[in-house]
A and B are shown apart, each in its own frame.
Chain A
Amino acid sequence: MSQPVFMHRVFEAAIRFGESFIYQRRRTTMTVLLLITAFLAWEAAHIKQDAGYDKSIPLKHPYMQVYKQYQEQFGGANTLLVALMQKNGGDIYNEKFLTRLKQVTDAVFFLPGIDRSQVQSLFTPNVTYIEVVEGGFYGANVIPADYQPTPAMFAKIKSNVAKGGYIGRLVSNDQRGAMVMADLLEVDPITGVKLDYGELADQIEDRVRGRFASPVKYLYKAKEDIVAGKNYTLRKTDEGKLKAGQVLFKKGDVLAEHYVPVGTLKRWFTDFNGTLHLADGSAYVVPVHGRLIDVEQTANPEYSPDIGIHIVGFAKVVGDVIDATQEVVTFFLITLVMTMILLWLYVGSFRLAILPLVCSITAVVWEFGLLKLFGKGVDPFAILVPFLILAVSVSHGVQYVNAWVGELEMYQRNSFDASLYTWRRLAIYGTMAIMTDVAGFAMIALIPIGIIQEMALNACLGMAAIIITNKVMMPIWLTWVNIGDVKAFVAKQEKRDSIFDPVWKLLSNMVKPKPAIAALLICGVLLGVSLWKGKDLQIGDSQKGVPELLPDSRYNRDNAAIVDNFALGTDILKVVAETDPNACIRYDVMEQIDRLAWHLTNTAGVQSTLSLPQLAKFVYSIFVEGSPKFYVLPRNKDAMVQAITPITPPTGMLNESCSAMPIWVFTSDHRATTINRIVGEVERFGSDNAQEFYETHKDVDAKYCDEKNLTRRETGMDKIALEAMTEERLRQGMSDDKIQADPAIVAQQKKLDTAKAKLAGMDKECPVNFALATGNVGVMAATNQVVHELEKRILLYVYIAIVICVYISFFEWQSIVCIMLPLALVSWMAYAVMALLGIGMKVATLPVVALAVGIGVDYGIYVYATLADACASGFDLREGYLKTLKMTGKAVVFTGITLGFGVATWLFSGLQFQRDMGKLLVFMFTANMFGAILILPAIARFLIVPRKLAPGEKPVFKPRH
């Protein structure tokens, strides 16, 4: 035994310490655990779903600093697009369509979380056009203030739309559709309240799509008179407004109207907000419980079948994923029930079969409860994490129950003793296996993206819970399990086991030299193929549309409809051209920006671009009577000022000081290859342009200009930080004077002033800095880069953590080789599988791959531990491995097959993400299983030397701890 005495003592002490709780004070311990479970269950029941766009952003990435710096001026990446399309031919210039467009614009405007200053449609005041008249030019709103539905007005609007250049943006290419564009604010700047995406998505469906596209609407009426103090409990806030006994609503009064029905079950958990008119004439909202409400279905007068509505945006994706949650959870349950039934067949006892499941579910309850205590919510995109926790827990639970049955079988022990001996044999290995997982998951948190760190925390909490539920709760429970007639039970077990004996015999051949070498050769080939195929793995998305949803889901169809009909897509990259204040009136500056826009227009994957120079050219030509021959940037500074003046900062094309101008790049999709190509072009152009600039401007060089760009960024970041600090204090109710005097604010202000002064001092002209990037594609570009850069390194860290933990468990270098090699092979194969299935490596998939590694570690540790123990006890390799297979191997095989079958049902899920992960996990569960029972012994064949027995000594299996 190579284990140092010190560690041996530690493990011994841990076992004895554990035993004192589990076996000596089992009632007390169990009571405490149940109380904690009850408490955590209560906490878990109050956990909130917590989706967010900002937390999926790698905020430290340089692109995202640009994103933050200009978010206020040029909009963020979190947009909502609503397109209206004529279904039966005809253009949009008629009363019915324009009325509908106005209604939808208003409906979008009043959605929660909408940045109202950024809403754009033909009906918003920020949408203007300019036209030439004799002796000058004239600018006005595209839809005149005196809009009347007359043919002459429709003709005028049509020509205004063309003059304003809105075709392809706010009006579809063929003028049969129109668009409403809006930006979302994730945190309300005044109240600091975070946007509830689920609520927003519901409202989008109800108030925007449902209202205009649903043939029916639902009236929610009072079932009976609603009387204050009787069936309506007065709230504190009602004081002075409502009196006890007052009839608030009469029977049959309509309290609410919805276009998407509120489910019968949901109605019991929903308050319907009825509006009362108080004596002073003001409206007052009274929440009435759903049980007092009846629903009535009527025709929807606003429904028009010939106008289609297409809605896309992050909020809709979140909404669709949340809507699918129920289905996803249902599939989890199917997986669990299948596992339980198979377990029942396997151990032949319902009570034993249900045990691992109860423990696993308890672990998830603890996980959610702890998550809530940490102040976090459940992210719909992290929905697989609890399932993986369940899977890991089931794997350990099955091992434990299996070992316990083995104790009964082999040594005819009673429940209590069997549990105790199982504990002594498996506690250390099992706990070390879980600790290994925890160490692995903790490493994922090194990726500086909020949602990944949340998932890592989530997984670590879940793992910690597994230690308690599987290594404390389960042993105690097993001591109480009464299997009745032990002899009969054992006989039944032996009979059942004997069915598989030939299989185990066959498998035990793996430790013979020839099969072992053959297996290792096959592994070599598999590794080679995987490395070759795995190179095709995409970082980021590898498909069009939203890969989490089915390709033919409504969202992806909506997305395709918008991309097909509009020049702009839903995928926008904004490159911010940064220069000195007021520099946008200089020809040479504008020319650089214009040329980049033209280069990008000519880059494959770009649908169109939009930038200040393009608009300035248009305005300049307007000043010269509209002649296309003046559709250029004027060299004359005064002419340039004229050309830029009509384009105001609210258009999002320039900032107030005219020192930053975004180039909007509408891309055809957001596949990683497309993004890389475009980002590469921007970088290439930027460096070539700077090089050219330095050749003609000898007074500056790259060093000076790089520093100037850094100073500009620093100024921006300091300003953002100062604003955030001020807002936070305002929310806390501090007065302006107090905020001004706050030492932190003063320090930050000073920092900002210093940076500003430094920037102002750097007055030598530099080439335009093309700063990447904002827009949703900019965010994806940054995320892809972070994942690409860190993914391999993180995996290395995960492996190092696992290696250390495995070594601590066994203190044998052989253990590392035997456990890690199959694991590494499966990881590489998983990459190849992802590449073959077209699944990209991204924020949502990376943790799944890492978590699935955890399952493999468990398998490996259990198999290796038993095999090494058997050989140390004097069994030869063949016998030792046969014993291992019967003791832990069969549980590994069982778990691998069961979980594999379970996740295979996911292929029928309505969520593409779950389907993809189903395929990936079927592979990971089964491949890891094969790795543990086929490859591990083949490697062990060459590394483990069985203990020589003394003459006449019979081998007796004895765990080393």
Chain B
Amino acid sequence: MKTPRRVFPWLAGACCFAAGAWLSAGAEDAAPAASEDGAPPTAPVQIKPRPSEIMPKATQALILGVIDTGEHLIAVGDRGEILASNDGRAWAQVPTPVRAALTAVSFADAQHGWAVGHDAVVLHTGDGGRTWTLQNFQPELQEPFLDVLALDPNHAYAVGAYGLFEQTTDGGANWTKVEAPAITGDQLHLYAIRKLGNGDLFVAGEQGTLGLSTDGGKTWSKLKSPYEGTFFGAVPRGDSGALVCGLRGNAYLSHDVRKGDWQKIDTGTTNSFFGCAALDAHQVAMVGLNGIVELVDTDTGTARNVKSPGDTPYSDAVPFKGGLVMVGVSGIQHIDSLQ
């Protein structure tokens, strides 16, 4: 690995546990109790968050989310790993107070961002990703957050499994449940939350779930879905449009989500797409199962294959310097040029 220290020379002792586990709620029934399967009875053990371990092969671990904050790339993944890079090649692991797998990361500006993940973990940074504090940790819930959307330094949404849907309006001091029975009522997994060009909030998830809020998150409605399978990713398009990608090579494009004029994109594959990211106003990159990478021209609605299947799955991607940085089961990879 190329001297990761050069990326963040100030990392050297900048470990912080400030927030600690103050949010971790009652853990009475967290420990596995004696049960019919013959496992020995055990005294209830409170599950405490333990700090992540800095490892040389962190970039080869399961990495699930990646984002360009404008200053650096930040990637999050297994065992509470958060990695930062200035050039998309050399990455430095940042200390974090948890070991749960982090599934997504979102920044409101270059300084303020959140990372979410399993054990209902919410991590917050106010210094561009140098230090992270734990805002939520509920392993007993047995529900992960799967995506996060930072609107501004105070306001963020997080969606997750079984209709988990929370928000904060005070920079993370308090996370509260979002009342959106239309999309959380079925307790389906919600995989993506995005803000569209016109400010509408858009949610995509299991069994074709598509949700929309046109009033800044006060009320939510369920949209008519073009597909009954799962959507894993969403990207805003133009003023009011979006692209959604999902199970078995399905992807749909709408120029006006409120109208619901979904148009199926011929991807030519049955490999699921687990993440999609905007390259520019005209193109979206989709990544997924078996390491597939496709580019969709959202003006014409046509897809072309950039990397054929034959690798481990990707979870997310971010455009960087004319290329693409992909993250997934085998860690961080990149394509130098998308031409």
Taking A635-B142, A763-B41 as contacts, is the C-beta distance between A625 and B101 under 8 angstroms? no
- Closest residue of chain A to B147, judged by CB? A629
Chain A residues with a Cβ under 8 A of chain B: 132, 134, 158-159, 162-163, 175, 580-583, 585-588, 595, 598-599, 601-602, 624-632, 634-637, 696-699, 763-765
Bound Cα distance A696, B290 (Å): 41
A590 to chain B, nearest CB (A): 12
| Total cross-chain contacts (CB, 8 A) | 104
Task: Say yes or no: A637 contacts B101, CB within 8 Å.
Answer: no
Stretch at the interface among B278-286, B295-303, B307-315: B307-315
Taking A134-B248, A636-B142 as contacts, is the C-beta distance between A696 and B45 under 8 angstroms? yes
Task: Say yes or no: B39 contacts A699, CB within 8 Å.
Answer: no
Task: Say yes or no: A635 contacts B79, CB within 8 Å.
Answer: no
Known interface pairs A159-B290, A580-B40, A697-B43; 10 further A-B residue pairs with C-beta atoms within 8 A, sorted by A's residue number: A587-B32, A588-B32, A595-B79, A598-B55, A625-B230, A626-B274, A627-B230, A629-B101, A631-B78, A765-B42
A723 to chain B, nearest CB (A): 25
Taking A627-B191, A632-B78 as contacts, is the C-beta distance between A582 and B56 under 8 angstroms? no
Bound Cα distance A627, B144 (Å): 13
Taking A158-B310, A582-B38, A598-B61 as contacts, is the C-beta distance between A631 and B45 under 8 angstroms? no
Bound Cα distance A699, B45 (Å): 11
Task: Say yes or no: B103 contacts A585, CB within 8 Å.
Answer: no
* Chain A hits for B61, CB < 8 A: 598
* Chain B hits for A163, CB < 8 A: 290
* Chain B hits for A134, CB < 8 A: 229, 247-248
Please report which residues of chain B, range 285-335, place their CB below 8 angstroms from some CB of chain A when the two chains form the complex: 289-290, 309-315, 328-329
A310 to chain B, nearest CB (A): 23
Please report which residues of chain B, range 91-149, place their CB below 8 angstroms from some CB of chain A when the two chains form the complex: 101, 103, 118-119, 139, 142, 144, 146
24 A-B contacts (beta carbon < 8 Å)? A132-B272, A159-B309, A581-B38, A583-B39, A586-B32, A588-B32, A601-B60, A602-B57, A626-B274, A627-B232, A627-B272, A627-B315, A628-B313, A628-B328, A629-B191, A630-B144, A632-B101, A632-B118, A632-B144, A637-B32, A696-B48, A697-B45, A698-B43, A765-B40
Bound Cα distance A585, B274 (Å): 28
- Closest residue of chain B to A634, judged by CB? B142
- Closest residue of chain B to A580, judged by CB? B40
Please report which residues of chain B, range 216-258, place their CB below 8 angstroms from some CB of chain A when the two chains form the complex: 229-230, 232, 247-248
Partner of B315, one of A585, A595, A629, A696: A629
List the 10 closest pairs (A to B, CB-CB), nearest first.
A628-B315, A763-B40, A602-B55, A629-B103, A632-B101, A765-B42, A602-B57, A636-B142, A635-B142, A628-B313
Taking A628-B64, A697-B45 as contacts, is the C-beta distance between A586 and B248 under 8 angstroms? no
Chain B residues with a Cβ under 8 A of chain A: 32, 35, 37-43, 45-46, 48, 53, 55-57, 60-62, 64, 78-79, 101, 103, 118-119, 139, 142, 144, 146, 189, 191, 206, 229-230, 232, 247-248, 272, 274, 289-290, 309-315, 328-329
- B60, B312, B314: most-surrounded residue (chain A CB, <10 A): B312
Bound Cα distance A357, B40 (Å): 72
Task: Say yes or no: B43 contacts A626, CB within 8 Å.
Answer: no
* Chain A hits for B206, CB < 8 A: 625
Partner of A628, one of B45, B229, B311, B314: B314
Bound Cα distance A162, B191 (Å): 25
- Closest residue of chain B to A601, judged by CB? B57
* Chain A hits for B328, CB < 8 A: 628
Bound Cα distance A599, B39 (Å): 27
A328 to chain B, nearest CB (A): 44
Bound Cα distance A162, B288 (Å): 13
* Chain B hits for A625, CB < 8 A: 206, 230, 247, 272
Bound Cα distance A163, B311 (Å): 9
- Closest residue of chain B to A594, judged by CB? B79
* Chain B hits for A628, CB < 8 A: 62, 64, 274, 313-315, 328-329
A858 to chain B, nearest CB (A): 54
Bound Cα distance A152, B53 (Å): 45
B237 to chain A, nearest CB (A): 23
